[in-house]
């Protein structure tokens, strides 16, 4: 097998067979000949899960990274409130004040890995004001303050990179921003929160939401306060970033419709399976003639789709482009090293583009800022979906036909139906319906009428279903 060429000291390509350094395994960046090129000086803020992963991967793959960047990558300073036993910072200056890193004149690229939106925003704005490039893994920061940060960065001519902010290690931002640049992106749908996907996967084995959540917390997959993950806020942060990149619009986090999985019943997981579906907590962005849909909610997905079979903490994003058709991106959406993989890819990008004319760089949100358009986002009741409905119906003749005629009067037709036998000594039976697509507002009215029937007990459970076909 032919050996790969590599850069020689003077920058020429030559066979690695002739390189004595290569035999010893990993080469240092000095061996690659970057001694004469000024290294890129990095300042890392935050030494938690991601920060420590970044340090480890950078130390392990430094030669590889430098060969890709064309310059050596050096950690000039770390800002961390405490040391970490799993992270060797020998020889690196460590400060307890993250702002000291930003103000360090030697630091050229600031890696914001502290999380949150208050100190992180101040930190990033200060880094930009100091003329430093920024790499962040912080989706909340980008989703909520990205427009402001990008404007400041444009003004100052610096880069703000955020690949790790969406789907961890999956290079989905690069794929949409660059790889799919020829396409008019029609829609995308993603499993973009690993905690939620782990819970839904485990519920298929017959365990309740609460039971699985406790297990996820014990395994470290869910936070002590799981609200951000299970109520869809984290997914909404990521979705708004993906939608901006896909459709060329500014970030509009406050417009995302968000519905969590915490009220999901095991019964619905089981009935969905009987009907040939899996329930996934999807983030969906779709361009329609009336506006853009931005929504995160539990969704019935046909079990034959690859997306329906993405299990556990894994993430996946399905993107439909007009030229390429559907493309699917799958991988680890979180974790120290998968996230570090994305952070360091951004660092390599910054190193490659440092010194280039800011106007010729890849735009923050894929489209040049003059071309960004504030597209209207549809309120959820104006979004069209097919529905799964479950209700508890009195076990007597005529109930089903009353429900069917209410739906029909609202212009909604029934696609499939399951009626269960009553349990011993119970006079109500579960009635499960799948409908054709209709507006959320039509379904609201129909459900209100169904719930008012004497023969229907309690609230109607309803979930959206998506065919996710081109």
Ligand X SMILES: NC(=O)c1ccc[n+]([C@@H]2O[C@H](COP(=O)([O-])OP(=O)(O)OC[C@H]3O[C@@H](n4cnc5c(N)ncnc54)[C@H](OP(=O)(O)O)[C@@H]3O)[C@@H](O)[C@H]2O)c1
Q: Which two tokens stand for residue 424?
A: 């011993």
Q: Torsions phi, psi of 321, nearest 5?
A: -105, 150
Residues from 95 through 124 that contact ligand X (CB under 6 A): 98, 113-115, 119
Q: Which two tokens stand for residue 402?
A: 């009353």
Contact predicate 446/412, CB 8 Å = yes
Name the catalytic one among 132, 139, 238, 255.
Answer: 238
Q: Which two tokens stand for residue 321?
A: 């482009």
- 142: contact with ligand X by CB under 6 A: no
CA distances (Å), origin 426, targets 6, 394, 395, 420, 430: 75, 9, 9, 12, 11
Nearer to ligand X, 136 or 252 (CB): 136
Among 170, 334, 380, 461, binds ligand X (CB under 6 A): 334
Among 41, 77, 138, 201, binds ligand X (CB under 6 A): 138
Q: Report the distance separating Cα 468 and Cα 247, nearest Å.
A: 18
Q: Report the distance separating Cα 307 and Cα 246, nearest Å.
A: 19
In the three-class reduction of DSSP (H, G, I as helix; E, B as strand; rest coil), residue 469 is classed as coil
CA distances (Å), origin 324, targets 114, 186, 194, 271, 319: 37, 11, 27, 35, 9
Is 255 a catalytic site residue? no
- The closest residue (CB) to ligand X is 48
Nearer to ligand X, 51 or 283 (CB): 51
Q: Torsions phi, psi of 378, nearest 5?
A: -75, 135
Residues from 151 through 180 that contact ligand X (CB under 6 A): 164, 168
Q: How far is the CB of 343 from ligand X (least distance, A)?
A: 8
Length of the chain, in residues: 470
Residues from 35 through 54 that contact ligand X (CB under 6 A): 46-51
Nearest to 58 by CA among 170, 152, 135, 140: 135
Q: How far is the CB of 339 from ligand X (least distance, A)?
A: 4
Q: How far is the CB of 309 from ligand X (least distance, A)?
A: 22
Q: Crossing angle, helix 440-451 and helix 399-409, to 10 degrees?
A: 150
Taking residues 58 to 97 in sequence order and writing x for each that binds ligand X by CB under 6 A, - otherwise, the string is ---------------------xxxx---------------
Q: How far is the CB of 232 from ligand X (least distance, A)?
A: 15
Nearest to 385 by CA among 210, 262, 259, 244: 259
Nearer to ligand X, 12 or 81 (CB): 81
Contact predicate 294/194, CB 8 Å = no
Residue ranges in contact with ligand X by CB under 6 A? 46-51, 79-82, 98, 113-115, 119, 137-139, 164, 168, 334-335, 339
Catalytic positions, please? 238
């Amino acid at each position: 097998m032919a050996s790969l060429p590599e850069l020689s000291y003077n920058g020429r390509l030559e066979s690695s067979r002739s390189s004595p350094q290569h035999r010893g395994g990993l080469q240092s960046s000095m061996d690659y000949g970057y001694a004469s090129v000024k290294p890129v000086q990095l300042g890392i803020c935050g030494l938690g899960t991601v920060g420590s992963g970044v340090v480890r991967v950078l130390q392990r793959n430094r030669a590889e990274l430098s060969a890709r960047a064309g310059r050596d990558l050096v950690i000039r300073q770390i800002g961390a409130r405490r040391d970490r036993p799993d992270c060797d910072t020998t020889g690196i200056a460590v400060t307890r004040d993250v702002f000291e890193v930003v103000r360090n004149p030697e630091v050229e690229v600031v890696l914001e890995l502290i999380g949150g939106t208050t100190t992180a925003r101040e930190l990033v704005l200060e880094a930009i004001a100091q003329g430093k490039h920024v790499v962040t893994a912080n989706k909340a920061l980008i989703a909520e303050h990205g427009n402001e940060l990008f404007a400041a960065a444009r003004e100052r001519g610096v880069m703000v990179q955020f690949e790790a902010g969406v789907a961890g290690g999956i290079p989905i931002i690069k794929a949409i921003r660059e790889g799919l640049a020829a396409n008019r992106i029609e829609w995308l749908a993603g499993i973009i929160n690993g905690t939620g996907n782990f819970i839904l996967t485990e519920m298929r084995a017959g365990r309740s939401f609460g039971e699985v959540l406790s297990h996820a917390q014990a395994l470290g997959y869910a936070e002590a306060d799981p609200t951000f993950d299970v109520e869809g806020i984290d997914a909404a942060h990521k979705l708004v970033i993906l939608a901006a990149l896909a459709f060329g619009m500014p970030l509009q986090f406050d417009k995302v419709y968000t519905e969590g999985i915490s009220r999901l019943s095991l019964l619905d997981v089981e009935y969905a399976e009987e009907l040939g579906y899996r329930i996934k907590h999807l983030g969906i962005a779709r361009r329609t003639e009336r506006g853009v849909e931005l929504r995160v909610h539990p969704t019935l997905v046909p079990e034959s789709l690859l997306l329906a079979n993405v299990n556990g903490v894994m993430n996946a994003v399905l993107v439909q482009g007009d030229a390429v058709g559907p493309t699917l991106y799958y991988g680890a959406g979180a974790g120290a090293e998968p996230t570090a993989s994305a952070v360091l890819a951004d660092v390599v990008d910054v190193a490659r583009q440092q010194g280039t004319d800011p106007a010729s760089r890849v735009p923050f949100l894929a489209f040049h800022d003059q071309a960004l358009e504030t597209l209207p986002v549809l309120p959820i009741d104006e979004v069209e979906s097919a529905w799964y409905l479950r209700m508890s119906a009195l076990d007597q003749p005529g109930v089903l036909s009353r429900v069917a005629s209410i739906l029909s009067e609202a212009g909604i037709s029934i696609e499939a139906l399951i009626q269960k036998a009553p349990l011993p000594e119970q006079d109500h039976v579960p009635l499960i319906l799948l409908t054709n697509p209709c507006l959320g507002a039509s379904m609201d009215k129909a459900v209100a009428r169904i719930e008012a029937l004497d023969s229907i007990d309690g609230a109607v459970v309803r979930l959206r279903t998506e065919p996710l076909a081109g």
